[in-house]
């Protein structure tokens, strides 16, 4: 049985110690397209050699920097073929700005398992602390495993939210590069779905797709640049549901609504009649 909920639910994930440098931060930001405005002062804050500001979405790659093997979906009570898996959702809560240089430790657990009938959803929660033991960030992510449902578990909640019933306060389009996935994978996500045309076709896609977490980080950066004057340190949380795919070279449209200290965002693909790519997107920030 690929999923044994009695074993998996609540199971602890391996503790992991990791570190990063300003060069790692720069590479991550370049993977999101930073530097397109190469003379803009705000843009260059992401690429400073000594102390680049750090988008909170860097938390999604920091533990796997330097990894060169494809990831495995192997946890206590969970063994799933990578080709069946897509990212379902991602949330990062930043307890303080992430430093440009750091050492950290992550601890986590499998917090939820849902049976969607034709698929399964596995949710992980991890807490990351710095070298002094102070909390840096908390991450929550889910994976959607096609064909792995039907094990008799609960279906789980539906968290879909509605967009505001008015015109967005900001409407931004951002092109991606044809080589965007090949660059982003250097941050440690070597899933061949994003680089190997044969693997992508076997998984049901006509071509390799952009990493969902690349789209996730890119949309966060768009919002920070558009609404927060390129000040990443103001972001306290960012979450999204992966609602569709983006192919390298396509253009993302971000419609952004501002309410108090929260942004609601709809991210779509301009090239395919605004097909959704991220849904239920929320960014929280300090004043």
Class of the CATH domain delimited by 5-285: alpha beta
Give the catalytic positions in this structure. Answer: 189, 194
Which tens digits make up the pLDDT trace of 185-196? Answer: 999 989 899 999
Task: Give the least confident one: 2-16, 37-51, 147-161.
Answer: 147-161
Contacts of 67 (CB under 8 A, 6+ apart): 188, 189, 190
The domains of the chain are located at 5-285
User: Concatenated DSSP letters for 162-218?
Assistant: PPPSS--SEEEEEE--TTHHHHHGGGS---GGGT-HHHHHHTT-SS----HHHHHHH
Is 176's pLDDT higher than 70?
yes
Tokens of 128: 């990351």
If we measure between CA atoms, which residue out of 227, 210, 212, 215 comes closest to residue 264?
A: 227
Which pLDDT score, from 0 to 100, does residue 81 have?
83
For 86-142, the pLDDT digits (tens) are 889 999 999 999 999 999 999 999 999 999 988 889 999 999 999 999 999 999 999
- Res 1: pLDDT: 59
Question: Tell me, what's the pLDDT at 151?
Answer: 83
């Amino acid at each position: 049985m690929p999923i044994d909920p009695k074993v998996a639910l609540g199971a602890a994930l391996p503790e992991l110690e990791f570190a990063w440098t300003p060069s790692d931060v720069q590479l991550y930001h370049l993977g999101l397209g930073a530097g397109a405005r190469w003379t803009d002062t705000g843009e260059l804050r992401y690429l400073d050699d000594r102390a680049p500001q750090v988008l909170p979405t860097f938390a999604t790659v920091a533990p796997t920097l330097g990894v060169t093997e494809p990831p495995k979906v192997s946890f206590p009570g969970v063994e799933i073929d990578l080709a069946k898996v897509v990212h379902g959702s991602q949330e990062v809560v930043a307890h303080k700005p992430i430093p440009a240089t750091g050492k950290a430790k992550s601890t986590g657990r499998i917090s939820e398992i849902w049976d969607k009938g034709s698929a399964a959803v596995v949710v992980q929660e991890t807490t990351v602390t710095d070298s002094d033991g102070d909390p840096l960030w908390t991450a929550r992510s889910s994976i959607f495993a096609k064909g792995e449902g039907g094990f008799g578990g609960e279906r789980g909640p539906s968290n879909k939210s509605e967009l505001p019933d008015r015109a967005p306060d900001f409407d931004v389009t951002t092109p991606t590069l044809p080589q965007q996935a090949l660059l982003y994978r250097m941050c440690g996500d070597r899933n061949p779905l994003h680089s190997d045309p044969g693997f992508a076709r076997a998984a049901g896609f006509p071509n390799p797709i952009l990493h969902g977490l690349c789209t996730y980080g890119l949309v966060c950066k768009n919002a920070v640049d558009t609404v927060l004057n390129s000040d990443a340190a103001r972001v306290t949380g960012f979450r999204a549901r992966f609602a569709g795919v983006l192919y390298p070279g396509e253009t993302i449209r971000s419609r952004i609504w501002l309410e108090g200290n929260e942004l609601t965002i709809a991210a779509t693909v301009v090239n395919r009649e605004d097909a959704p790519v991220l849904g239920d997107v929320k960014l929280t920030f300090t004043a």
